Amino acid sequence: MLIAIDASQAAKEKKTGIEYLSSGLILNLKKIDRKNSYLLFSNFRLPTIYQSRNFKPIFLPFRKFWNKFRLPLALLKYKPKIFLEIGYMLPSFTPKKSICFVHDLASKKFPEAYSARDRIILDLSFRTALKAASIIFISNNTEKDYKRIYPGFRGKSNVIHPGYDTNLFKVIANPSDILNINSKYILYVGRLENRKNIKNLIIAYKLFRKKTKLNPKLVLAGKEGFGFGNIKAEIDKLDVSIKNDIIIPGYIAEKDLPHLYARAELFLFPSLYEGFGIPILEAMACGTAVACSKTSSLPEAGGEAALYFDPENPTEIADSINSILTNPTLKAKMISAGKVQAKKFSYKKMAEEVLNIINSI
């Protein structure tokens, strides 16, 4: 059976959530499926690791409106039996048996955190997903939100939790200080934007520093996103002694992330809304205690191994930091539980579940 995949997200050099998911899924499908044949369409060249006897990358050099015009032409030419869209937007023409991922409905829950252009594009992508034969939701919470906002969907739906690179994210005996911090620190990893609630994290960090004698630094690692100016403005309000302890290193390469997690005293994830929350699993797998929001899908990722707080209450976030950093017994218990929780997820498991759906339709 011939299967086509939109692999454009996997081809990106600087990956974040969906791009890592796309890459991990495709590479693990390549490992487990020797029967079906795959065409990997992309508007960027894919590395040779994606190629095998039954996996063929096809470079379609067409940058603007690639999904709207160039990808549909390729689907008409090659006539795959099934098409898998791992990102959001199904192209204008797809085979009848198309499978589409829906990752989150954040733009509907927090429209103020997105530009007008992004809201329009995302709404269109959600509406085009209605024509899919099957939608894969990455959490139960995302499925619930989608069906409430778009009740017209009549296809099959499945919830498949994402995985992470279990070979990369694990306990490291002697992690490197990749940022040359040479100090204890609290860590956040993700895009620096309004939806991630970084402003309240900064306020909570200030409250924590003023309440205790502890002075770990705060590392905010990730790309700048919509509303980054608001984050910088909040930092500029701080006393110099606190402001100088906030480190913004920018994008961190995946190979360096395990070292960054492993050296952290605590991983904080205060997001207002997530489709799932893969950084929680990565931190847990690296042996780092996790405190995160109790909203949306995050409890599906953290299970009973995370300490939860109300993301809109900076005092509660600060109290969570204090609880973990001043209680070694609690911290050790959370680290142990986190390692167990992280083992429940993997790209291999995800690929096996996706392959079952492909074979079923």
Same domain, 25 and 71: yes
> Which two structure tokens, joined as six digits, stand for 122?
């995302």
Q: What is the pLDDT of residue 247?
A: 97
In the numeric block, which tokens belong to residue 74?
């390729």
Tell whether 295 is covered by a domain: yes
Which residues lie below 8 Å from residue 194, measured CB to CB, with a gap of 6+? 110, 112, 113, 225, 226, 227, 230
151, 189: one domain: no
CATH of the domain at 78: 3.40.50.2000
Q: Is residue 56 domain-resident?
A: yes
| Shared-domain flag, residues 44 and 110 | yes
| Same domain, residue pair 81 and 198 | no
User: Looking at the structure, do residues 299 and 351 belong to the same domain, yes or no?
Assistant: no
Q: Are residues 226 and 266 in the same domain?
A: yes
Low-confidence ranges of the chain (pLDDT < 50): none
How many structural domains comprise the chain?
2
> What is the three-class DSSP state of 291?
strand
**Residue 307 and residue 207 share a domain:** yes
**What pLDDT does residue 42 have?**
94
Is 19 within a domain?
A: yes
Do residues 158 and 305 both lie within one domain? Answer: no
Smallest CA-to-CA distance from 279 within 187, 198, 189, 191 is with: 189
Residues 6+ apart with CB under 8 A from 275: 17, 103, 104, 106, 138, 139, 142, 296, 297
Of 20, 39, 14, residue with least CA distance to 347:
20
Q: Look at residue 305 and give its three-state secondary structure.
A: coil
**53 in a domain, yes or no?**
yes
**What is the structure's pLDDT at 95?**
86
pTM over 0.95: no
In a domain, 180, yes or no: no
| Res 155: pLDDT | 82
User: Residue 118: its pLDDT value, please?
Assistant: 87
pLDDT per residue as tens digits for the range 165-185? 999 999 999 999 999 999 999
223 found inside a domain: yes
Query: Do 173 and 255 contact (CB within 8 A), yes or no?
Result: no
- 194 with 138, same domain: the answer is no
First to last CA, the chain: 11
Together in a domain, 337 and 275: yes
- pLDDT, one tens digit per residue, over 85-104 is 998 688 888 888 999 999 99
Helix (DSSP H) and strand (DSSP E) numbers for the chain: 14, 13
Residue 249 lies in a domain: yes
189 and 335 in a single domain? The answer is yes
pLDDT of residue 17: 82
Instruction: Establish if 144 belongs to a structural domain.
Output: yes
Are 148 and 8 in the same domain? yes
**pLDDT at 160 (0 to 100):** 97
- How high is the pLDDT of residue 154? 83
Check residue 164 and give its pLDDT: 93
Percent of the chain topping pLDDT 70:
100
Whether 280 and 290 have beta carbons less than 8 Å apart is answered as yes
**Containing structural domain, residue 65:** 2-163+346-360
* Beta bridge pairs of residue 309: 293
